[in-house]
Amino acid sequence: MKKNYRWGILGAGRIADKFCEALSFTEGSEVYAVASRDMDNAKAYATKYTATKWYNNYTDLMKDENVDIIYIATPHPFHYEQTLLCLQHNKAVLCEKPMSLSPQQTAEMIAMATKNNLFFMEGMWTACMPFIDKILSLIAEDVIGTPQFVSADFGFSAPVDPASRLFDKTLGGGSVMDIGIYPIFLATLILGEPTAIKTVSKLTITGVDEYANVVLQYANGQTAHILSTININTAIEAEIIGTKGRIKINNPWFKATDFTVHLNDGTTQKFSMPHASNGFEHEVKEVMDCLDKGLLQSNKVPHKLTLSISKIMDEILQQAGVAY
């Protein structure tokens, strides 16, 4: 392994704070530079995580020759342009989910990374967690048989504020973009791309989706039910049902440490895999492992999966009547 990966952090908000916490925890990585449009904010982040550099514009971060990889942690509408600029400056990129506002933008981002021979990955931290690896291995070993049904929800009650990121259409607001991507990820990981999607939804006063209640159907007859909402608190649990049994993933399933296998013969088995830090360390390690191996994409979050999720999200939003 390379002795140390120097990360550049583009955007100094709440999600970047959690990511930097995991970076500081993970051996072989460092928060080298932070960029924010607010110099005081950038300096505060740099001080907190003992970064060497801080910038008040993103281009200076991209031009820094000592930065090995850039983590983009800005709101979704800015991912497309900022990713393309990073790639043009020959920087590997980890872009926070969702990758962009459309499958067309996502495809263009992937194409440029491939053309420039640069590593590029969507920051789907759930995909890098040990519980996902274990579930995939159990399915591959035919423990629960062939998966037939996936259900997953993610919802919380947020105060209605037209100016907040969750409700502002110009910032990519709404439940699907913010948290619906998690259930979509799980269904797509297990069952692939659906052949049919049916969405029941409600819009907020700002024109973004308040909730999306979605049924997906697949070529071999499997189905999935996913729910995202920013107006009620949901169980935040997930279940994968196969021909021989089912896997129940405990709350909060998107960053789970515990799940249970229930077989049709009545036997159960519990699994527990605590995070060493806050959960982002698994994503950090996956990126560094890919860079060590000279890979252009992650096997855990391959470009094909990212593009599939983007297509599904786009169809759900179209059915909901949301256009960014």
Q: Tell whether 140 and 265 lie within a shared domain.
A: yes
CATH number at residue 201: 3.30.360.10
**In the predicted structure, residue 76 carries a pLDDT above the cut 70:** yes
What burial letters (b/e) apply to 2-34, b meaning 16+ CB within 10 Å?
A: eeebbbbbbbbbebbebbbbbbbebeebbbbbb
Q: What is the pLDDT of residue 1?
A: 44
Domain boundary among 73, 93, 125: 125
Q: Tokens 């970064």 correspond to what residue?
A: 51
297 phi and psi, to 5 degrees? -150, 160
Percent of the chain with pLDDT strictly greater than 90: 98
Q: Tell whether 52 and 154 lie within a shared domain.
A: no
What does the alpha-carbon distance between residue 166 and residue 284 come to, in Å, rounded to a whole number? 26
| Closest among 8, 7, 9, 13 to 171, alpha carbons compared | 13
Q: Are 70 and 92 in contact (CB under 8 A)?
A: yes
Percent of the chain with pLDDT strictly greater than 70: 99
Size of the chain, expressed as the number of residues it contains: 324
Please write the tens of the pLDDT for every residue from 246-300: 999 999 999 999 999 999 999 999 999 999 999 999 999 999 999 999 999 999 9
Domain boundary among 103, 125, 147: 125
Total domains in the fold of the chain: 2
Is residue 298 assigned to a domain?
no
- Local confidence band at 146 (pLDDT 50, 70, 90 cut-offs): very high
- Local confidence band at 193 (pLDDT 50, 70, 90 cut-offs): very high
DSSP label of 157: B
- Local confidence band at 3 (pLDDT 50, 70, 90 cut-offs): low
> β-strands 223-229, 5-10: how paired?
unpaired
Question: For residue 265, with 0-12 CB atoms within 10 Å meaning exposed, 13-18 middle and 19 or more buried, which class applies?
Answer: exposed
Domain of residue 248, residue span = 127-278+308-320
pTM for this prediction: 0.96
Please write the tens of the pLDDT for every residue from 54-69: 999 999 999 999 999 9
- 46: Cα separation from own chain's centroid: 24
Q: Tell whether 143 and 97 lie within a shared domain.
A: no
144 phi and psi, to 5 degrees? -105, 10
**In the predicted structure, residue 171 carries a pLDDT above the cut 70:** yes
What does the alpha-carbon distance between residue 104 and residue 85 come to, in Å, rounded to a whole number? 17
Q: Tokens 């007859």 correspond to what residue?
A: 221
The alpha carbons of the chain give a radius of gyration, in whole angstroms, of 20
- 145: Cα separation from own chain's centroid: 27
Nearest-5° angle of CA 301, CA 304, CA 305?
A: 50
User: What average pLDDT does the segment 133-143 reach?
Assistant: 98
What does the alpha-carbon distance between residue 114 and residue 101 come to, in Å, rounded to a whole number? 20
pLDDT, the chain, mean = 97
Q: Tell whether 90 and 210 lie within a shared domain.
A: no
Single-letter residue type at 9? I
Q: Tell whether 18 and 121 lie within a shared domain.
A: yes
User: What average pLDDT does the segment 150-162 reach?
Assistant: 97
CA 29, 30, 34, 40 dihedral sign is positive
User: What average pLDDT does the segment 241-247 reach?
Assistant: 98
Q: Tell whether 108 and 217 lie within a shared domain.
A: no
User: What average pLDDT does the segment 203-219 reach?
Assistant: 98
Is residue 289 assigned to a domain?
no
Q: What is the pLDDT of residue 200?
A: 98
DSSP 48-114: HTT-SEEESSHHHHHH-TT--EEEE-S-GGGHHHHHHHHHHTT-EEEEESS--SSHHHHHHHHHHHH
Structure tokens at 6: 């120097």
Q: Are 196 and 235 in contact (CB under 8 A)?
A: no
CATH number at residue 108: 3.40.50.720
DSSP 265-303: TS-EEEEE---SSSSHHHHHHHHHHHHHHT-SS-SSS-H
Is residue 161 assigned to a domain?
yes
